[in-house]
Structure 1
Amino acid sequence: MTDPTRGVLYPDRLPHFTRLPPGDEASDLVEWYWIPQWDLPDGVESRQTLLSYPAANLAVEPDGVTLWGVTTRPSERVLRGSGWAVGALLRPAALSVLTAAPADLADSHVVLDEPALHGAVAAAMPDVQAAVDAVESWLVARVGALTPEARLANAVAELLMNDPGVLRLDDAAERLRVSARTLQRLAHRTVGLPPAAMIRRRRLQEAAQRVRDDPGASLADIAADLGYADQAHLAHDFRTVLGFTASDYRGDR
């Protein structure tokens, strides 16, 4: 399973947080489950900035069930009072069943009318494993058998987001033995982001993690290791996407 701090820019600020892998039946539907729980004193906030994994999320919270689309920019969540959420980071095979147009859901969300799912999860909390089991059972029943296209979409996302050797769309197309155009269309239909954007997101997540966790590494070395043209290219991505420099981020730790 991917490092649980990947995409979390300030992990030390997280509330109590559990991340669980999917069971065998849902391994083609879910990357992982995430369960934050918090109980903050009056007047205290927990503010977390995320450079999210390029995938949709199904979230069950005390007030309902929401399908969140892929994000194209950093997002921020401010926690107050007490609460919890049981979320599933969805693989393309699941998202393409839950919405007909993933690209239309980018940077947006839709509330799902699923009272049985909500009731089962709310009744299970704070037993996080039981709550996750309820989400998993619902997803497996809702999605059903996977089509060949759904399996290919999963393979595309897995390659683009986890293989550091894939730096260009053509790299992925050659590896999967399909055309670049096929990959572009498939990503649009099942993720909501173009493949090039997914690759950029992976590299920036990895760069942020290196900058944060390896203070002895030079920014030039990090840029070279992750396939950036040079340090200036890495600096441009930081400023453009995150709004601050890599040096500022390292100093803000």
Structure 2
Amino acid sequence: MTDPNRGVLYPDRLPRFTRLPPGEAASELVEWYWIPQWDLPDGVESRQALLPYPAANLAVEPDGVTLWGVTTRAGERVLRGSGWAVGALLRPAALSHLAAAPADLADRHVVLDEPALQSAVAAAMPDPRAAADVVEAWLVARVGALTPEARLANAMAGLLMTDPEILRLDDAAEHLRVSARTLQRLSHRTVGLPPAAMIRRRRLQEAAQRVRDDPDAALADIAADLGYADQAHLANDFRAVLGLTASDYRGEQ
């Protein structure tokens, strides 16, 4: 599994947070389950800054069930009072069964009319594993058998988000033995972002983690290691997506 804090810009500020792998039955549908629980004093806020994975999320909370599409920018969630969420980071094979047009769901969300799922998850909390098992059973029943295209979409997303040698769309196409156009169409239908955007997100997540975990590493070296043209290119990516420079981000840790 990928580092559990990748994509979390300030992991030290997290509330109680559990991340669980999927069971075998849902291994092609879910990357992992994420389950925050919080109980904050009156007047206290916990601000969670995120650079999300380029993937959709299914979230079950006390007030309902929501399908969140892929995001194109960093985001923030402000936690107050008491609460919980049971979320599933979805693989493309699952999203294509839950949303007719994933690209139309980018930076948006839809509320799903699933009161039985919400009630069952609420009954299972605060046990994270039991709650995740409820979501897993629902997903497996909802999605059913996977098509070859769904499995190819999973392979594409896994390659783009984990292989540091994949720096261009053509690299991924060659590795998967399909055309670049095929991957572009597949990504649009099953993720909602072009492959190039997924590669950029992976590199920026890795860069943020390196900046956070290695205070002594030179930014120019990080940029070179991750395939950026130069340090300025890395700096521009930070500003465009995160709204701050890599140096400023390092100083906030």
TM-score by length of 1: 0.99
Read off the aligned partner of 1:158 and give its amino acid letter.
Answer: G
Q: Does 1:238 align with 2:214?
A: no
- The offset of 1:240, in angstroms, is 1.1
1:31 corresponds to which residue? Answer: 31
- The offset of 1:54, in angstroms, is 0.4
Cα distance between partner residues in 2 of 1:245 and 1:169: 27
Cα distance between partner residues in 1 of 2:238 and 2:198: 16
- The offset of 1:222, in angstroms, is 0.3
- Give RMSD over aligned pairs: 0.4
- The offset of 1:2, in angstroms, is 1.1
Cα distance between partner residues in 2 of 1:14 and 1:50: 11
Equivalent position SS for 1:79: strand
- The offset of 1:154, in angstroms, is 0.2
Deviations, residues 191-250 of structure 1 (Å, cap 9, x unaligned):
000000000000000000000010011001100110111111101111111111000000
Read off the aligned partner of 2:231 and give its amino acid letter.
Answer: Q
2:7 corresponds to which residue? Answer: 7
1:206 corresponds to which residue? Answer: 206
Read off the aligned partner of 1:14 and give its amino acid letter.
Answer: L
Cα distance between partner residues in 1 of 2:240 and 2:148: 37
- The offset of 1:115, in angstroms, is 1.1
Gaps of 5+ in 1: none
Within 5 Å, which residues of 2 pair with 1:29-68? 29-68=29-68
2:127 corresponds to which residue? Answer: 127
Read off the aligned partner of 1:126 and give its amino acid letter.
Answer: P
Cα distance between partner residues in 1 of 2:131 and 2:241: 34
Deviations, residues 87-131 of structure 1 (Å, cap 9, x unaligned):
000000000000100000000000000111111100000011110
Equivalent position SS for 1:42: coil
Cα distance between partner residues in 1 of 2:239 and 2:132: 37
Equivalent position SS for 2:154: helix
Cα distance between partner residues in 1 of 2:106 and 2:135: 22
Q: Does 1:86 align with 2:89?
A: no
2:75 corresponds to which residue? Answer: 75
Read off the aligned partner of 2:128 and give its amino acid letter.
Answer: V
Equivalent position SS for 2:233: helix
1:17 corresponds to which residue? Answer: 17
Cα distance between partner residues in 1 of 2:249 and 2:14: 17
Read off the aligned partner of 1:18 and give its amino acid letter.
Answer: T
2:187 corresponds to which residue? Answer: 187
Equivalent position SS for 1:167: coil
Overall identity of the aligned pairs, in %: 87
Cα distance between partner residues in 1 of 2:231 and 2:133: 45
1:96 corresponds to which residue? Answer: 96
Cα distance between partner residues in 1 of 2:205 and 2:248: 16
Cα distance between partner residues in 2 of 1:84 and 1:240: 31
1:162 corresponds to which residue? Answer: 162
Cα distance between partner residues in 2 of 1:135 and 1:252: 36
- The offset of 1:28, in angstroms, is 0.0
Cα distance between partner residues in 1 of 2:89 and 2:23: 13
Equivalent position SS for 2:42: coil
Read off the aligned partner of 1:59 and give its amino acid letter.
Answer: A
Gaps of 5+ in 2: none
